[in-house]
Structure 1
Amino acid sequence: MRFLITALLCSLFAGCASTPRQPITSVNIEEIKPRYIETESFKRISEYMSGKENLGDRVVLRTQPQERAGYYFTLILDTDVRRLPAGTVVVGEFYTKKSVEKQSHEFTLPNKRPTTKEIFVGLTGEDWPEDSGVPAAWKFSLKDANGQQLGEKQSYLWSL
């Protein structure tokens, strides 16, 4: 009888532990930290051995994926990036010295994501050819695969 009760309790606990989380319908971008980052800041020891970039526990999205140096915005979320729905898109809009027109870039989050609350979004290569200066204004939106907005944050100048 004890064996039967123990087996029932174990299966009950296992069933509760494997219940999937509800999909996220909104996310708060708590903070955005903009800064210029050099190529060397992305290199790890394993890259010298394998020749391949190792992002580790970072989610890095670049306008020019082959170029690492550039102006990055670190989006700090209130939830883990892994909890975002599949097909989540980060939309970055910028006003820079490069053009008087607004630049807009869309990035789809990779399917395999590390456990982190940060997303690095970089203007790299020709999109940010200098190591000084800052974008005049910016806005970021997170959207699910259907285009529904999950979250948004903008600079003060964007709203003017």
Structure 2
Amino acid sequence: MRLPLQFLAIVALSPVAGVTDGAAAVTLERVWPGYRDAASFTRLGEYFGAGPDAINAAALRSQPQARAGYYWLIRTDATAAQSGCSLIIEVQRESNPVPDTHTFSFDLSAGSHAIHAGLTGRDWIDSEERPVAWRLTLLSPDGTSLATQHSFLWERSSSS
């Protein structure tokens, strides 16, 4: 079956969800939220005296020395690398109707990459707690929004 040329043109020119007009096109391909204990980040080499591996060295943590916490594993896809980007995580918790905001600075790599961003240590103590709603916003160095993604309940919780 051949698709009409007009259909292909529409698909090719349609905006991708989560992308805004920035210096580089960026998408948040997939976001996996969930609690991770510290042991899930320990790699074999660390038992033999090696330093943190690439995942641990690059993880964005609200308390850098603490590994346990609530994480968002974010798969990004960027057409160009950008130094000095920011990731803003807004989280609404059951105990507080006002969202907590955490900002992380990092360098965005070109291509498809995973980012571990977590609220750790005193910022997320209870392994059983789950956020009511959350929103991730990726900003360029000049503050332009490159991409955003949120939980289903974010729009409902922020509008009330």
Report the TM-score, using the length of structure 1 for normalisation.
0.74
Asked if residue 142 in structure 1 is aligned to residue 141 in structure 2, the reply is no
Q: How does 1:34-113 map to 2 (within 5 A)?
A: 34-50=33-49, 52-56=51-55, 59-79=58-78, 83-110=80-107
- Paired residues of 2:75 and 2:112 also in contact (CA < 8 A): no
- Paired residues of 1:71 and 1:123 also in contact (CA < 8 A): yes
Alpha-carbon distance in 1 for matches of 2:128, 2:120: 13
**Kindly tell me: are residues 150 and 34 of structure 1, through their superposed partners in 2, closer, same or farther at Cα, counting changes over 3 Å?**
same
Bigger radius of gyration, 1 or 2?
A: 1
Structure 1, residues 88-110: CA drift from partner, whole Å, max 9, x if none?
11111110134332100110115
Counterpart secondary structure, 1:117: strand
| Per-residue deviation, 1:37 | 0.7
| Residue in structure 1 matching 2:151, options 132, 155, 158 | 155
- Residue 15 of structure 1: aligned partner: none
Structure 1, residues 2-58: CA drift from partner, whole Å, max 9, x if none?
xxxxxxxxxxxxxxxxxxxxx952311122111111111111122122353223498
- Residue 25 of structure 2: aligned partner: 26
Q: Which has the higher strand share?
A: 2
- Gaps of at least 5 residues in structure 2 are 1-21
Structure 1, residues 60-115: CA drift from partner, whole Å, max 9, x if none?
111111110011111112338xx43110111111101343321001101158x698
| Per-residue deviation, 1:123 | 1.0
| Percent of aligned positions that are identical | 30
**Kindly tell me: are residues 116 and 133 of structure 1, through their superposed partners in 2, closer, same or farther at Cα, counting changes over 3 Å?**
same
Moved more, 127-136 or 51-60: 51-60
Name the Cα RMSD after superposition: 2.5
- Paired residues of 1:24 and 1:84 also in contact (CA < 8 A): no
**Kindly tell me: are residues 58 and 84 of structure 1, through their superposed partners in 2, closer, same or farther at Cα, counting changes over 3 Å?**
farther
Q: Would you say how many aligned residue pairs link Structure 1 and Structure 2? A: 135
Report the TM-score, using the length of structure 2 for normalisation.
0.74
- Residue 124 of structure 2: aligned partner: 128
Moved over 6 A (4+): none
